[in-house]
Structure 1
């Protein structure tokens, strides 16, 4: 059997209309989600892109859709050798691995998204095409900014105070710098207050040991099945970088042959292709693709 990993997308992979084809097969989970959230995922994904891009809506919608697609694949008898996710996607990885159930995961995502949406006083900018050594040197020499998403060798996101982020953009030559429409400096120490509040929620949540290995954002070279370790790492995630490039390199080094992106879009398979081109890539973002796989 091909050694495969299921990968789950995070914020930025959302698209208007995503998941509508899952309405019938995912009926129970959509209903449960509405009960937990107080609003309908199916209605929200039919609004405009600006509304859907709001953190408090984006994250729950992506979580629910990836969870339903996961269920479809598992019903077919399919299972991965390991799972991982990009930021929010790590919650779907934990759901897939049996660490948390659907409702528990969505409760956590709900609280996380609200805390992140309330964050203020920071900025994030995606950088494409740069000298990595020069960028890392400037970040090391500048206070209040961090390399928050290390997505690939030539695509990252920096996060910090607006002044610090602007300073990096002015001093480092890049092909493209794209300011992100977010409320705060996600995955940076500036999220400490929100992270402290969320840690209290996590402390009250039971994490089972995983049925399969989980590769976390904060420790990409140490896959684990320990529920306690995974909860501790999730506590760190909100203020720590998403080390996706390293996850991709780890997958290649460990002999994984196939990466299956389960959820909206193709962002992650595109990033895997850049860092680990030896892996075969599959996208499962629709009911048709899930049934056909």
Structure 2
């Protein structure tokens, strides 16, 4: 039987105005988020692009919007067979799999964003159109830089010290190499101090058995075990996002449809490059949620 996976984008997919059409149906969720965060998600989503791109705001806003879309999809009887999320999106995936509740996840995301925003003295760069063997050799022989996001065969993100990132960027042939506008070396060993502090918080949060298998960033082997999912999440801040492997495992799991829940089509594009046979859909607006429900069914208020 064919299966559907829900995938959730992370930082970089945010867009000014996202979530505005969900305000009425999800007013209680937005109010709960404001109580936890101390600021309005909808307000930040209506701010300018540079403000929304601030890690402190980007990560909680994406989590809240994605969770609300999950609630609306489930309320109309739509459910995934598997879930996965890219970096921050893994928290939305865990919420979709009922591993923790909305408030617990948002508290984690809030603290994660704070710690990552404080990170300094690191750099990241996106590389496109490269020879994989040459890249692997450069990473193996250059101290202080690692593969942060293995997104597809044609696109990766490297992370580490500014000098080491620059050395790899200029040392191998690429179609395009772009430094990312971030202050820290996310998904690298340089995040260890922040990860250690975060893990102490994460350790106290109960993780329930997932209702559907989760494909984690650091280990895409599907699992529903709460303890395993927590251990994998603890490794995420310093570990690589193995998105290419997640994409490759989808057909092996019987998946034929990928629904990207959240703003943009970044993940759908990455998966399409790796698995061209899969059907790709995107749900980021109320209209798109309604398009997936049985004819004539009225959206249920998200509470």
TM above 0.5: yes
2:297 counterpart residue number: none
Gaps of 5+ in 2: 293-303
1:55 counterpart residue number: 55
Structure 1 runs, 4 residues or longer, greater than 2 Å off: none
- 2: distance between equivalents of 1:59 and 1:103? 14
Matches within 5 A, 1:157-236: 157-220=157-220, 222-236=221-235
1:252 counterpart residue number: 251
The Cα of 1:2 is off from its aligned counterpart by 3.6
Matches within 5 A, 1:41-190: 41-190=41-190
1:10 counterpart residue number: 10
- 2: distance between equivalents of 1:133 and 1:254? 28
- 2: distance between equivalents of 1:128 and 1:253? 26
SS of residue paired to 1:90: helix
- 2: distance between equivalents of 1:89 and 1:191? 18
User: Is this contact kept in 1: 2:60–2:109, CA < 8 A?
Assistant: yes
1:270 counterpart residue number: 269
- 2: distance between equivalents of 1:136 and 1:242? 16
**TM-score, scaled to structure 1:** 0.99
The Cα of 1:253 is off from its aligned counterpart by 2.1
SS of residue paired to 2:254: coil
2:19 counterpart residue number: 19
SS of residue paired to 1:232: helix
Count residues with an aligned counterpart. 292
- 2: distance between equivalents of 1:155 and 1:49? 24
- 1: distance between equivalents of 2:209 and 2:230? 10
1:39 counterpart residue number: 39
The Cα of 1:254 is off from its aligned counterpart by 2.0
The Cα of 1:178 is off from its aligned counterpart by 1.1
**What's the CA shift string for 1:196-233, capped at 9, x where partnerless?**
0000001110111101101100001x110010000000
- 2: distance between equivalents of 1:200 and 1:208? 18
- 1: distance between equivalents of 2:87 and 2:236? 7
- 2: distance between equivalents of 1:266 and 1:170? 29
The Cα of 1:65 is off from its aligned counterpart by 0.4
